Amino acid sequence: MAQSMPGPNEKSTPRFEKSTDPKELERFFARLEELFDKCAVASDVDKKKYAVVYTDIKTEKQWKVLEHFAKGTYEEFKKDVLSSYDGALAGDHDAMQELKQLIRRYRLSLIQEKSEYMSFKREFQVLAVVLKKEGVCLNQELVDQFLAPVADSLYNSMKLRMERLNPPAGKTSRDPANPYTLEEVMASGLDVLQGVFSSMDRKHDKARGLDTTASSTRELHGTRSGTRNNSSTGESAVKQEDVGGILASMKDIFEQQAQQAQQERQHIAALEKAFVEQQKTITNFLQQQQQQMQAQQYNQYNACPAPSGFGGAPRQMNSGASLLNRFDCWFCGESGHLNAECPTRMDYLNTGKIVMVKGRARLPDGGEFPTDIRDPLPKN
């Protein structure tokens, strides 16, 4: 006799509530359908009834108004529910977007440590299964995507490791367009990071009658092994291959270092240029501020009419002077300095020809200039 369906509040009951991640919907329905099989629930009506009962009140009301709840099969109702939640359907488009985001995230800091590799591999595998099942991505496309965020050093070791793999069963060589499966690529990376690469390759070379010392040297320097046409290759030829590989690796390293140095020099030059431009901007700003302050002082002075000595009219600079010369010294009329820095004014003060009373030039006894003086310059 089949067991009965559990009550809504029992611990073994699968539940979906409004606070649950929509991506858990598929898991909810999977557990629900396992119960249907155990409890021999076959009716579409009963299946839909239990589906809404195992939710909270608000979710139950929302699901009951869906098109296929009252009329329709359980599968149609289930599809309605999944379609009503963003991200609930793990379709090929969503999986592809997640794959791109995953690769972008790991590309920010290229993978070269075992912990990073394992974490990336776990996430990638889940999405790869969906994309391969739906026929969105072929094996080689997934391999290329998997290797995209892998650091160059790890990639080169993985490539060397895979080049040593035997052809698939029943074949004498690998397909150049699709040489390795995704599983083989993932396993090669794990072998390299776990340190089993060297020991496996030495055993492989020993079985083929090659010098394991030379093989170890190639691994140490990261060189790629050439195609071995026969097992009688001489030790001198192997050593020559090692030397060529080492020199090629050293050349690559030097070129990379030179390129990095050039980039650093360009960066420093750009910083220096930006610093100079900033200094110019600050200097121009300070000069403008100083001119504005001097202009304000001059305007305030001219706004006050002279009580005597200049006909009662506002003080002017050189009569009829151009506006371009409005910042000439109003005391002596010369350009290149302002009143506060006027050498003539300072000389008059030092020799006692004038005194300053409340910012105004006066006679040595403090008196005002005679009213019959009509010259526009206080110096005269």
Tell me: the pLDDT tens digits for 236-270? 444 455 566 677 778 778 888 888 899 999 999 99
Tell me: the pLDDT tens digits for 21-74? 777 888 899 999 999 999 999 999 999 999 999 999 999 999 999 999 999 999
What are the extents of the domains in the chain?
A: 1-89, 107-126+134-167+178-222
Radius of gyration (Cα) for the chain, nearest Å? 44
pLDDT the model gives residue 374 = 64
Are the beta carbons of 74 and 82 closer than 8 angstroms? no
pTM of this prediction? 0.38
* Rounded Cα distance, 283 and 281, in Å: 5
Sequence-ordered list of residues with C-beta below 8 angstroms from that of 348, at least 6 positions apart, any chain: 354, 361, 379
Q: Which residue has the tokens 């110019």?
A: 280
Angle, in degrees to the nearest 10, between helices 139-147 and 114-133: 160
* Rounded Cα distance, 300 and 350, in Å: 26
Tell me: the pLDDT tens digits for 299-330? 665 555 544 444 444 444 444 444 335 557 87
Sequence-ordered list of residues with C-beta below 8 angstroms from that of 180, at least 6 positions apart, any chain: 143, 162, 165, 174, 188
Amino acid in position 305: P
* Rounded Cα distance, 238 and 211, in Å: 9
Q: Which of 87, 98, 82 is nearest to 28 (CA)?
A: 82
Q: Which whole number is the average pLDDT over 114-131? A: 91
Amino acid in position 155: Y
Give the distance between the most distant pair of CA atoms in the chain. 131
Helix (H, G, I), strand (E, B) or coil at 116: helix
* Rounded Cα distance, 124 and 139, in Å: 13
Are the beta carbons of 63 and 51 closer than 8 angstroms? yes
* Rounded Cα distance, 246 and 220, in Å: 10
pLDDT the model gives residue 309 = 44
